């Protein structure tokens, strides 16, 4: 089962969910706002894609953080602490595909290679 992690009102998450449905990819949606960030899975995501990929430094949430909080994110441990405390700083969507592969973000081309 493919699981898409994100926030329901995020435009990129909406596009990814629509794409998966239209391409008949059996999937579940995990809402960070309602269900939180799965602390047991976060280390695996960091190993798979890197903490630098997971922390969305271009988003509004990051920009609203104070400079000291931003400066404190220097490695996987500090990034994980921030992501667990503030799910909105995670780049979305995080997708754990049926084969266990983890991807971050959405593009039609990247998703197409996953189901081809």
Read off the pLDDT of residues 82-93 as tens digits, 9 standing for 90 and up. Answer: 999 999 999 999
The SS3 of residue 30 is strand
pLDDT value at 72 more than 90: yes
DSSP state at residue 90: B
Q: How far apart are CA 99 and CA 110, in angstroms?
A: 15
Most distant CA pair in the chain, distance: 44
pTM value? 0.94
Catalytic pick from 2, 3, 7, 10? 10
3.40.30.10, 3.40.50.300, 3.30.465.10, 3.90.960.10: which CATH number matches 2-115? 3.40.30.10
Known catalytic residue at 75: no
pLDDT at 116: 72
Cβ–Cβ under 8 Å, residues 63 and 18: no
Residues shown for the chain: 116
């Amino acid at each position: 089962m493919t699981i898409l992690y994100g926030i329901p009102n995020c435009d990129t998450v909406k596009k990814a969910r629509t794409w998966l449905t239209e391409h008949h990819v059996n999937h579940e949606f995990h809402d960070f706002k309602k269900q939180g960030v799965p602390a047991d899975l976060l280390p695996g995501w960091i190993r798979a894609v890197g903490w630098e990929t997971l922390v969305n430094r271009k988003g509004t949430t990051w920009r609203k953080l104070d400079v000291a909080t931003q400066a404190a994110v220097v490695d996987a441990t500090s990034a994980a602490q921030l992501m667990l405390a503030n799910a909105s700083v995670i780049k979305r969507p995080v997708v754990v595909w049926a084969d266990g592969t983890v991807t971050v973000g959405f593009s039609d081309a990247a998703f197409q290679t996953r189901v081809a």
